[in-house]
Amino acid sequence: MKKIKFLEHTADVKYEAYGKDLNEAFENAAIAVHQVITQDKVRAKIKKEIKIKAKTKRALLYDFIEEIVILMDTTGLLISKAKVNIEGEENNYKLNAVIQGDLYKNYECHGAIKSMTYSDMVIEESKNKVKLTIVLDI
Amino acid sequence: MKIHKINEVTYEIEKEGNMNVPVIVFANEHILEKLKQDNSLQQGINVACLPGILGKSIMMPDAHQGYGFSIGGVAAFNVSDGLITPGGIGFDINCGVRLLTTNLTKDQVTPKIKEILEALFKHIPCGVGSGSKLKLSPIELDDVLNRGMQWCFEKGYATKEDLDLCEENGYMKEADAKEISQKAKSRGKDQLGTLGAGNHFLEVQYASEIFDKKTASIFGIKDLNQVCVMIHCGSRGLGHQVCSDFLREMEEAYPDVMEKLPEKDLIYAPAQSDIAKRYYKAMCAAANFAWANRQVITFEVRKAFKEIFPNAELLPVYDVAHNIAKKEEHLINNEKHLVYLHRKGATRAFGPGRKEIPNLYQKTGQPVIIPGSMGTASFVLVGSETAMKESFGSTAHGAGRVMSRHAAIEQFRGEDVKRDLEKNNIAIKSASWKGISEEAPQVYKDIDEVVAVSNKAGIGNLVVKLKPIGVIKG
């Protein structure tokens, strides 16, 4: 199954992340972020944990990807590997993730990501497939 | 949507259905056709549907699809009972442009442009993860947030004239650093004096055409071929995080509103709500950070120039914000209103006599600085009475993109773009090749066309055309 697909967007970056379930789709959504600024293969050297809570799946996705963006901006970390576990139900979702990556200065990078957005966000869940559509402001 | 032509450069999308006001689009026929190719016109309509919107939902000739609001969107809401919407300001709060004049000519600068760009690149960090040389303590960062260019002045980064000739004198007094999250502060604390990436740049330019000699002279541009420096950047990670934080907070506070919105990034809060008031204070603080950023960069630009030209003098023309909300008084339907004037990818263009503009520009109106894309022209316009009447004292902000970054990277090689620019005597120094491809001149609308519409509509009148000699970017 394809993991990530970048789409056309005039000013910013739009992509789809896929997975057999929500966890896997979230993982690929996180990994896609570093692909915006580098085409190099990023080693999984540094490990971090992310724990977040949100009321809706949409907010959970927003907050999760935002954490990845903030990590990139503040510590220069590019995330190339992720393990996500989502639990809970509407009004009470919890996400625990272990993410891995390496510092941007070890790779050829261009551009920067300003923010995660809600623009054109889609969370499509079917029997064995989840598709997330995300737009990042760059 | 029912579009009808008002004149050669103005169209109206008629009020119907859920629209509270019409949409006024400043565009010629060619630009209007381009606008129909993305979702921007619908976004103008969505803004027109917001409760309490006054007069009209405006779109500028450089409009293109954005989040909620199109980029190139202007809207007004009463401070007393309207609303404030962070998407109507943008993620890059106070992304803006500053113009400096120099006492140098094109003939003096061109042979030394490579050295100048090297010096600039050395002094001003650009590109991803670029940390500032200034490491601010939490108290210092709060001071920058609260006092913007005032802080710069006290620390010796700014002259008094720099403050006088800057929108808001470089600091909005309602700023409150307490309303900015730790997340936002952690993003901003090491970014003061940095350029960022994407479409942000620093350009060394020369005056190639003077349309209004008298006004240009008052602005400080006295001769053709006079060299100027243009700085285009914003509030960096700090501002983006402020926008994000408040979008999320408003979403949690107003879930019913959120459900009904055609685009989630249109979320708003009533102007008199606690959230709205806190957002505005945070927005002012982020705006102050952006002005301080452009000032520290100015300081470094002066240092860089002096290394190559010891007698170089760089003086401010003006500094304008193009992603911001301001409390302004406007006459709407013959009534005076104090409004939150939202400008997202649009520039204030106040005419003569407005108290908000510097004494030096009271007779002319304020300078409006419109950066072109890298390698094409930029313009200085002047604000006008007509702008006050037709567009809430606003005009365009730049050229607007027509091609995605992805398509640009596929179509243009950075090396080729650089070579083409060099063939046209434009030197470029970038932190990355892809950064150059994404910003190839062809991916933008024709800036000459955008400013021609602004000029013809009378909302921002041509003063000077500037062409690049050299560019640095992330």
ipTM comes to: 0.89
Q: What is the pLDDT of residue B415?
A: 86
Cβ-Cβ contacts under 8 Å for B187 (sequence gap 6 or more): A70, A73, A74, B236, B237, B238, B240, B241
Which chain A positions have a beta carbon within 8 Å of B127's beta carbon?
Answer: 109-110, 112
Given a cut of 70, whether residue A71 has pLDDT beyond it is yes
Question: Looking at CA atoms only, how far is residue A7 from chain B in angstroms?
Answer: 8
Question: Which residues in chain A touch residue B129, judged by CB atoms under 8 angstroms apart?
Answer: 72-73, 76, 104-105, 109, 112
Asked if the Cβ–Cβ distance from B406 to A110 is below 8 Å, we say: no
pLDDT above 70 as % of chain A:
99
Among chain A residues, the shortest Cα distance to B239 is held by A114
Q: How far is CA B373 from CA B180, B209, B313, in A?
A: 32, 18, 26
Which residue in chain B has the smallest CA separation from A121? B264
Mutate to test the interface with B, among A61, A110, A113, A119 (most CBs of B within 10 A): A110
Which two tokens mark B282? Answer: 């945070």
- The CA angle B113-B115-B121, to the nearest 5 degrees, is 100
Measured distance CA(B220)–CA(B382) in Å, rounded? 13
- Name the residue among B91, B186, B432 with its Cβ closest to that of A114: B91
d(CA B30, CA B32): 5
Please answer whether residues B357 and B318 qualify as being in contact, where contact means their C-beta atoms are separated by less than 8 angstroms: no
B310 C-beta neighbours (distance < 10 Å), count: 7
- CA A26 to chain centroid: 6
10 Å Cβ neighbour count for B92? 28
Residue tagged 């409006």 (tokens): B368
Instruction: Inspect the interface and report whether the beta carbons of A111 and B474 lie closer than 8 Å.
Output: yes
Q: Which amino acid is at B317?
A: V
Task: Look at A119 and B67 and tell me if their CB atoms are within 8 Å.
Answer: yes
Q: How far is A93 from chain B (nearest CA, A)?
A: 14
pLDDT at residue B192 in the model? 93
With contact defined as beta carbons under 8 Å apart, do B195 and B473 qualify? Answer: yes
- The whole-number pLDDT of residue B419 equals 86
- DSSP state letter for B265: G
Task: Indicate if the pLDDT at residue A10 is higher than 70.
Answer: no
Q: Quick check: B129 and A109 CB within 8 A?
A: yes
CB within 8 Å: B432 and A111: yes
A-B contacts at Cβ under 8 angstroms: 116
Provide the token pair at B356: 């908000």
Q: Which of A39, A118, A134 to mutate to test binding with chain B, by most B CBs within 10 Å of its CB?
A: A118
Closest residue of chain A to B249, computed from CA coordinates: A59
Q: pLDDT band at residue A101, thresholds of 50, 70 and 90?
A: very high
**Tens digit of pLDDT per residue, chain B (474 long)?**
999 999 999 999 999 999 999 999 999 999 999 999 889 999 999 999 999 999 999 999 999 988 899 999 999 999 999 999 999 999 999 999 999 999 999 999 999 999 999 999 899 988 766 678 888 999 999 999 999 999 999 999 999 999 999 999 999 999 999 999 999 999 999 999 998 877 788 999 999 999 999 999 999 999 999 999 999 999 999 999 999 999 999 999 999 999 999 998 899 999 999 999 999 999 999 999 999 999 999 999 999 999 999 999 999 999 999 999 999 999 999 999 999 999 999 999 999 999 999 999 999 999 999 998 766 899 999 999 999 999 999 999 997 666 677 777 778 888 888 888 888 888 888 877 777 777 777 777 789 999 999 999 999 999 999 999 998 887
The residue of chain A nearest to residue B264, with distances taken between CA atoms, is A118
- With CB atoms and an 8 Å threshold, state whether A110 touches B241: no
- The answer, for A81 touching chain B at a CB cutoff of 8 Å, is no
Beta-carbon separation of A111 and B187 below 8 A = no
Contact check, Cβ <8 Å, B406/A73: no
Q: What are phi and psi of B93, to 5 degrees?
A: -60, 130
pTM of the full structure: 0.94
Q: Radius of gyration (Cα) for chain A, nearest Å?
A: 14
Facing B65 at nearest CB: one of A11, A73, A104? A11
- Asked if residue B128 lies in contact with residue B236, where contact means CB atoms within 8 angstroms, the answer is no
User: Is residue B93 within 8 Å of B236, Cβ to Cβ?
Assistant: no
B266 Cβ neighbours under 8 A, 6+ residues apart: B46, B47, B50, B68, B69, B85, B87
Question: Which of B64, B406, B433 to substitute to test the interface with A, most A CBs within 10 Å?
Answer: B406
> Which of A13-17, A115-119, B252-256 is least confident?
A115-119
Residue among B240, B267, B433 with most chain A CBs within 10 A, to mutate: B240
Nearest CA-CA distance, residue A23 and chain B, Å:
22
CB contact under 8 A, A110 and B65: no
B-chain residues near A62 (CB < 8 A):
248
Determine the distance in angstroms separating the CA of A86 from the nearest CA of chain B, rounded to an integer.
20
Question: Is there a catalytic annotation at residue B397?
Answer: yes
What SS3 state is found at B305?
helix
Asked if residue A107 lies in contact with residue A42, where contact means CB atoms within 8 angstroms, the answer is: yes
More confident residue, A25 or A9: A25
Residues in A touching B247 (Cβ below 8 Å)? 118
Question: Which token pair is B281?
Answer: 């204070």
CA B245 to chain centre: 21
Tell me how far apart the alpha carbons of residues B391 and B383 are, in angstroms, rounded to a whole number. Answer: 11
Contacts of B406 in chain A (CB under 8 A): 6-9, 13
Question: Is B38 in Cβ contact with A111 (below 8 Å)?
Answer: no
> What is the nearest CA distance from B287 to chain A, expressed in angstroms?
16
Instruction: Answer yes or no: are the C-beta atoms of B198 and B287 closer than 8 Å.
Output: no
Which phi and psi angles does B88 have, rounded to 5°? Answer: -85, 0
Q: What is the mean pLDDT of residues A30-58?
A: 95
* B232, B342, B397, B406: the active-site residue: B397
Selection from A102, A99, A83, A97 nearest residue A40 by Cα: A102
CA distance A69 to A75: 10
Closest CA to B286 of B177, B150, B187, B182: B177
- Distance from the Cα of A119 to chain B's closest Cα (Å) equals 6
Six token digits for residue B474:
């992330």
Q: Per the CB < 8 Å rule, is B129 touching A105? A: yes
